[in-house]
Structure 1
Amino acid sequence: MDRHILRTLEYHRIIQMLEDQASSEPGKQEIRSLEPSPEEGEVRHLLHATAEGMDLIRLKGGLSLEGVKDIRSAMKRAEIGGVLSPDELLAVAGTAEAEKKVRRVIESLDEEEASLPHIRELAGRLHPISDLAKQIRKAVDEDGHVLDHASLVLNRVRHNILRVQSGIRSSLDQILRSSGYQKMMQEPIITQRNDRYVIPVKQEYRGAFGGMVHDQSASGQTLFIEPETVVAQNNRLRELELEEDREVERILRELTSRVDESAESLLANLTLLTELDVILSKARLGQVIRGVCPRIDQKGGLSLKKARHPLIDAKEVVPIDVELGNDYRGIIVTGPNTGGKTVSLKTVGLLALMAQSGLPIPAEEGSRVPVFSGVYADIGDEQSIEQNLSTFSAHMTNIIRILDRLDPRSLVLLDELGAGTDPTEGAALAIAILEKILDRGCRVMATTHYNELKLFAHGRDGVINASVEFDVETLRPTYRLLIGVPGRSNAFDIALRLGLSENVIEMARDQLSRDENRLEEMIRALTADQKAAEEERTKAEALHREAQELHRNLEKKLEEWEAEKGKIREAARREAKTVISRAKREAEDVLKELRRWNRQKPGEIKEHRLIEAKKRLEDAEPETSLSPSERDKSINRKHPIQVGDEVYIRTLGQKGQVIDDLGESGFQVQAGLMKMKVDRDDMEWRSSPRREKQEGSTSYRRQSDQVRHELDVRGKLVDEAIPEIDKYLDNALLAGYRQISLIHGKGTGALRTGVQSYLRRHSRVKDFRLGGQGEGGSGVTVVELN
């Protein structure tokens, strides 16, 4: 891209904003060289990566890479055998540590929550070199000092240095406290000169005070003397300090060697981390400008929805909607000065450059941009910050240069096209230039004041008028861009609002040609229609938002209802569990009482006691969703009660057999040894006997009172049990049973095998299975009859 045009559209200010978002120095350096790409594949990749960065920041609040430093010069020094300084080693450590930090953040994200394919791929290519950082941090502190425990030798030497320094200070303190020396001291302090400990002595006592003079004050009144008593100690201290320097250099050289061994991994990580920092910087900029990553339009269409200029205060900027490249390839924008024409032009150009740099653009979701081979602009009025190309010759020079470089994928932005010369010639020249650009297949957006260009846009295929709105009531521009409506001069309306006589204005109108008046009327009508359509659209959007809000409220209420229903289910489940537990306890109590009665008087349990116990068991049964009366009526409607049917008598809580139909009075029912009259609504049908036709009449054979629901054949041989089972099955079928139990015991399993083999061959056996829990287990076979 032409740097002059980038500066004209103020792209460099966007780069400065982006650089402020970078957390590492290599990231800032990379951003300074960032330029828009003309390659569609690369732009698509850049925007996808930026979108991932925005997702990462949204989910994790960002990822700072401030520890990453530009270590390339340090790597070169290490390669040629130089020794890295502590600060250079710390820079290497910060870069090496970033690898682990990035991995930790990426691995904490669920792939279903955020796939982030590009960022995950970058993180996956990072080399694991955090151990190198640990080695450096173990030897060098944050201030760049080599730590005592970096080696045993260094620790010992520094310990000796402290011991010698303490001895020197102790010797000098004795001199300072001595009464014979106090009058010779300028001040009772210990200081250093030339890395040796000295004391300040008055000049006149030089002869009386032995030792070596290392310095004197500016006035010459004070001499800094090293007493003879500490010379040997100072010499020893200097030897230890030289030993310390040698050991520190050895440690730094060893660390440098380890850095050199990891140089390839470090440099590879630096490249990847720099790329990641640039991606995150773009994502942070997107947050600042409230931007989105636009979609790439392969057909060359540009669609900006509520686009805003990123360099104008968000509280003041007016969003614009722009469509270019689909139904029309050219837009001619007209309107008053300072009305926002140039801002609209710059917004379109700058957002195109930002998108092709992989940056979010300040617009709404659904915005689309093509990838232009070049963006060319001639914007040189007083509103341009950096350039002032206001003369006609300067405009023409720039336009000629642009025309020589165009191709069908170019975007051309022309401000005040044809201005600066005779209006008639300027308009004609502007039309010719636009025709040339359109013939090349380019997209073009131009601003003008000429009516001729309004007519050109109205009559030329692929070109549309647009204008910046002006409020005649307030005499101020609204800065809104209206596509499809040419701009009016508004001169007559403004003059009238300012108080100019209507007669004068009418005289001025008479000076206009018929075509010019018709054009003004057409523009007035179009403006009114556009305003009405805008109001209708605003109302429709408000209704749409209201419908969406209503839909959300309904969904919320549905969710609350489902949650409440779940709570009710859970409460019902807990209550049912309680009822069942209570029923089980009641059943166990009944069984215990029956066993107790049986132990007291074996074989003499009376019928009324059985009925009473059974009633207690039935009462312990949890209620179903239907009340007993509703349930009985439902069953009785499906199975009308007839003579011979087995029924359940609710008031007694036991079963009985219908022996006579008493009409409206009910039925006569035998329950055990008792016969009684029972009302129809007090009975529930349970089963019907098998009916046999006999010479035109129907007879019933029922043996339910004599036939039990189970047969015990334990202790018998298979040959003995089979005939008994065969007879029992016939009786059970005649009694109308659908399910019976054969008790054969567990034992060796031979009897069970023989019984089940017989059942497989029996024609009236539908299915059979071993007993379940509470049914006798494998010692019982439960048989289903048909």
Structure 2
Amino acid sequence: MRRTNEECKIEFDQAIDYDKVLQQIAGHASFSCSRDAILSAMPLDSHDEIQQALELVKEGMELERKAVYVNFTGCSDIRDAVVRARKEMVLSGPELNAVRLFLNACQSVHRTLNESEAPHLNELSQSMDLCRPLVRSIQEQIDAAGMVKDDASPLLLNKHREYNDVRMHLQTTARDFIKSHSQQLMETVTTTIQGRLCVLVRAQDKNTFGGMVHGSSQSGQAFYAEPRSFVTYNNRLQNINDEIEAEKHRICKELSVKVRKNALALLSDLETMTYLDEAMAKARWAYEKDGCVPLMENNRRKLYMEAARHPLLDPENVVANTYTLNESQYCMMISGPNMGGKTVTLKTIGLFVTLAHAGFPVLCHTAHIPFYESLWFVIGDNQSIENNLSTFSAHISKIARICDNCDRNSFVLLDELGSGTDPAEGAGLAVAILEYLMDRECTVLTSTHYHQVKSFGQTDARILVASMEFNAETLHPTYRFIPGVSGASYAFDIAAQYHLKESILKRAYAFKEENARQSEKEIEHLEQMQNEVHEQKERFRALIEDAHRVQREAQAKKEAMDAKKRDMDENYARELDEMLEEKRNEADAIVRTLRKQKNTKFHEQTEKIHELNALAEPIPEEPAETPKLKVGDYVQLDGLNSHGEITDIRKQEATVSVNGMKMKVKMNRLKKIQRPNVQKKKTELHLLSSKKRMPLELNLIGMHVDEGLRALDDYIDQAVANHVSQVRIVHGMGAGKLRQAVWDDLHHQPAVKEITAAGPNDGGLGATIVTLK
């Protein structure tokens, strides 16, 4: 007999805590419809349906990895409002606003998915009708609080204006009334009774002002009276208010008709948004807990879960295990001591198989799960919050039902098979049931303490024997799954840890030895040898993992250093290019200024030349220590073929006199050198022999004016004699006396054709170019 979904849901909840895991996932949903869909999720009927659901989750996880936020804000369950509109009922302002917010959320999700690389999610979003005219209509007439806007229609706007005008007249009338009758009033303020403006008057004066009386105070000493002068205005306000409410009702009715016309599209959009939010909730849960989308295998038996972790266990302390069954294995048989994790292992595998069939991700690094048409669970321990039936009769009745309905497409989970009755009979039943289920090619997971059952598992190639690791020294479980090794119960050791009397333990051990068969002793010896081999294997594995870890750390450090060096090189090159470009622009600006201003004053030209020379400062590749220099030192300017004497030092900048010009230079660009030994030139110059080469430059720096002029005259004579057409006279800047004297003298030289100041690269104003006739 086929089980109903309700029966399956109860069985899953009791056996594998399915409902608690669904509640955990539903906590990531954005609105009630998707939460309800997750909480009621059950395994799907077809492999194609499962694949479609898992594909949506896979794309959702990729969006989470890329930090693409799919915003469902504004989504709500609008089914009641749509149903009421279809029945031609008038929706309220908040209901209409909820429809608008829902459609705005649809537009947001549609826009986000349209711009993302999620083809299946986008295909779903593209199928929605965004009902833009309906959104505009509601948005124009209903505000964010769900109230009809004052200007929703021309009539409504006029009525609100009229209402405000009448109200202002009423307030003016009330102020005048209070001012003229203050002695007869209990309070000089107005109050509102049933929407009508009133005043509080003394009891003896309640009928003095005409109008109406609306009641008395608690003491009976005062009455709420509406004077005759108030009545007309109050009546008018009430009439206008009724007209306003009627107009609002008309507007809501008109909008409700539009909702009714779009009802089918709205319900379809709600279903689509539920699918999308459900998929994104699953994706957010899996991404947050480092899960994966399982690969659902069809027509294959391979079961593989790498680093599986139960979602209800503490993520900081849970032990990740890898479970696998190959194509030729039909059964996984887990043994080991009580409280060692056997049931948790069965629940984890059963839960992940169920989640995968319901289209959910699982908490594994990788998962391959066959497609099963039916899932069966029999777990009767005390670890479930709600105790299920645990008597042998209930246990065996469930197993009988499984045997009647299972086939090669069934997944069966049996905890402590054969328990609750005589051990010998229970073991026999367990072996017979496992044989029957495997003969029908079911996939079976079971746990056992029986030696006979473990011995059967060791001899049948269709069974993978496994155990949960137990530390024999500390007598504590490690919760690690060990395939290929059957586990001992450690019952005597655990009993000793809980201080059972030694005499009882000795008697129990003797009784066991007396009654143990040779096959059981051999199994125990084999289990001991298997555990020793496994411990050695684990030690080697730990050493190998440690070596790999050290290697990975070293490689990671090397890659980090290489990346840091690349970043530093790129940043330095970029900054260097920027600085060079900036200096080129400044130099171009100065040159353009000098070209435009031919008649610039002397000191302005000097400043521009200083700026241009300063731009020639090289950009240091690395910060260097400031040289220890002092005033009076003779230095070389780094990057320039110039030298001079330091005349002043302020902070990290020195003033250097170079060829009579004073230049401010950074200290790290100066290098101390030997002061040159300048010989004073003889005042009498002899004509150079035609065999010697005529120098094209005369340096007068360091000479007095008279001495320099004599040297200049002799030099010009020699230049004329050697037929030189152009020479350069270096006189420096200084105070300008020597320069002016040189220019005056050259103007009176008959052999001089033209004199001009040298260019920036030839000494600037510190030198003169002389063209001879």
TM-score w.r.t. the length of structure 2 is 0.68
Task: State the Cα distance separating 1:548 from its structure 2 match.
Answer: 4.8
1:529 paired residue among 529, 533, 546: 533
Structure 2 CA distance for partners of 1:73 and 1:328, relative to 1, 3 Å: same
Task: State the Cα distance separating 1:520 from its structure 2 match.
Answer: 1.2
Identity percentage of aligned residues? 34
Which whole-Å CA distance do the structure 2 matches of 1:217 and 1:325 have between them? 89
Per the alignment, residue 293 of structure 1 pairs with 293
Q: Deviations over 1:648-697 (max 9, x none)?
A: xxxxxxxxxxxxxxxxxxxxxxxxxxxxxxxxxxxxxxxxxxxxxxxxxx
SS at match of 2:405: coil
Which whole-Å CA distance do the structure 2 matches of 1:562 and 1:490 have between them? 59
Structure 2 CA distance for partners of 1:276 and 1:556, relative to 1, 3 Å: same
Structure 2 CA distance for partners of 1:504 and 1:428, relative to 1, 3 Å: closer
The answer to whether residue 346 in structure 2 is matched with residue 348 in structure 1 is no
Task: State the Cα distance separating 1:505 from its structure 2 match.
Answer: 8.3
Contact 2:475–2:493 under 8 Å retained in 1? no
Per the alignment, residue 12 of structure 2 pairs with 6
Which whole-Å CA distance do the structure 2 matches of 1:310 and 1:495 have between them? 31
Which whole-Å CA distance do the structure 2 matches of 1:269 and 1:506 have between them? 70
Residues 614-633 of structure 1: matches in 2 within 5 Å? Answer: none
Contact 1:472–1:494 under 8 Å retained in 2? no
Residues 415-494 of structure 1: matches in 2 within 5 Å? Answer: 415-494=415-494
Per the alignment, residue 193 of structure 1 pairs with 193
Which whole-Å CA distance do the structure 2 matches of 1:567 and 1:76 have between them? 64
Task: State the Cα distance separating 1:419 from its structure 2 match.
Answer: 1.1
Per the alignment, residue 147 of structure 1 pairs with 149
Contact 1:38–1:371 under 8 Å retained in 2? no
Q: Deviations over 1:408-449 (max 9, x none)?
A: 111111111111111111111111111121111111111121
SS at match of 1:190: strand
Q: Deviations over 1:323-366 (max 9, x none)?
A: 125342112212222221111111111111111122221111x3
Residues 120-519 of structure 1: matches in 2 within 5 Å? Answer: 120-179=122-181, 181-185=182-186, 187-217=187-217, 220-298=220-298, 299-364=300-365, 366-494=366-494, 500=502, 507=510, 510-511=513-514, 512-519=516-523
Task: State the Cα distance separating 1:189 from its structure 2 match.
Answer: 3.1
Which whole-Å CA distance do the structure 1 matches of 2:346 and 2:108 have between them? 43
Task: State the Cα distance separating 1:554 from its structure 2 match.
Answer: 6.1
Structure 2 CA distance for partners of 1:218 and 1:33, relative to 1, 3 Å: farther
Which whole-Å CA distance do the structure 2 matches of 1:237 and 1:539 have between them? 90
Q: Deviations over 1:584-643 (max 9, x none)?
A: xxxxxxxxxxxxxxxxxxxxxxxxxxxxxxxxxxxxxxxxxxxxxxxxxxxxxxxxxxxx
Structure 2 CA distance for partners of 1:271 and 1:571, relative to 1, 3 Å: closer
Which whole-Å CA distance do the structure 1 matches of 2:576 and 2:200 have between them? 96
Q: Deviations over 1:163-222 (max 9, x none)?
A: 21222222223333334x53442x433222222222233444334443212234455544
Task: State the Cα distance separating 1:229 from its structure 2 match.
Answer: 0.8
Per the alignment, residue 641 of structure 2 pairs with none
Structure 2 CA distance for partners of 1:316 and 1:217, relative to 1, 3 Å: farther
SS at match of 1:171: helix
Contact 1:99–1:130 under 8 Å retained in 2? no
The answer to whether residue 544 in structure 2 is matched with residue 540 in structure 1 is yes
Matched letter for residue 6 of structure 1: F
Contact 1:176–1:188 under 8 Å retained in 2? yes
Task: State the Cα distance separating 1:152 from its structure 2 match.
Answer: 2.1
Per the alignment, residue 719 of structure 1 pairs with none
SS at match of 1:520: helix
SS at match of 1:145: coil
Per the alignment, residue 46 of structure 1 pairs with 53
Which whole-Å CA distance do the structure 1 matches of 2:493 and 2:17 have between them? 36
2:75 paired residue among 68, 75, 90: 68
TM-score w.r.t. the length of structure 1 is 0.67
Structure 2 CA distance for partners of 1:311 and 1:571, relative to 1, 3 Å: closer
Task: State the Cα distance separating 1:50 from its structure 2 match.
Answer: 0.2
Contact 2:211–2:228 under 8 Å retained in 1? yes
Residues 98-117 of structure 1: matches in 2 within 5 Å? Answer: 98-109=105-116, 115-117=117-119
Per the alignment, residue 36 of structure 1 pairs with 43
Structure 2 CA distance for partners of 1:37 and 1:107, relative to 1, 3 Å: closer
Task: State the Cα distance separating 1:552 from its structure 2 match.
Answer: 5.4
Task: State the Cα distance separating 1:117 from its structure 2 match.
Answer: 1.5
SS at match of 1:367: strand
Which whole-Å CA distance do the structure 2 matches of 1:517 and 1:428 have between them? 19
Contact 1:38–1:374 under 8 Å retained in 2? no
Structure 2 CA distance for partners of 1:542 and 1:293, relative to 1, 3 Å: farther
Return 161-170 or 99-108, whichever deviates more.
99-108
Contact 2:184–2:205 under 8 Å retained in 1? no
Per the alignment, residue 670 of structure 2 pairs with none
Matched letter for residue 40 of structure 1: H
Residues 370-769 of structure 1: matches in 2 within 5 Å? Answer: 370-494=370-494, 500=502, 507=510, 510-511=513-514, 512-548=516-552
Q: Deviations over 1:437-465 (max 9, x none)?
A: 11111111111211111101111221122
Per the alignment, residue 86 of structure 1 pairs with 93
Q: Deviations over 1:87-131 (max 9, x none)?
A: 11111111211232123323443xxxxx31101212222334344
Per the alignment, residue 17 of structure 1 pairs with 24
Contact 1:97–1:129 under 8 Å retained in 2? no
SS at match of 1:200: strand
Which whole-Å CA distance do the structure 2 matches of 1:221 and 1:29 have between them? 60
Task: State the Cα distance separating 1:132 from its structure 2 match.
Answer: 2.9
Q: Deviations over 1:533-579 (max 9, x none)?
A: 233233334444455555556666777788899999999999xx9xx
Matched letter for residue 5 of structure 1: E
Structure 2 CA distance for partners of 1:531 and 1:182, relative to 1, 3 Å: farther
Per the alignment, residue 622 of structure 2 pairs with none
Contact 2:325–2:464 under 8 Å retained in 1? no
Q: Deviations over 1:131-179 (max 9, x none)?
A: 4323322221222111112222211211111121222222223333334
Which whole-Å CA distance do the structure 1 matches of 2:231 and 2:308 have between them? 79
Task: State the Cα distance separating 1:376 from its structure 2 match.
Answer: 0.9
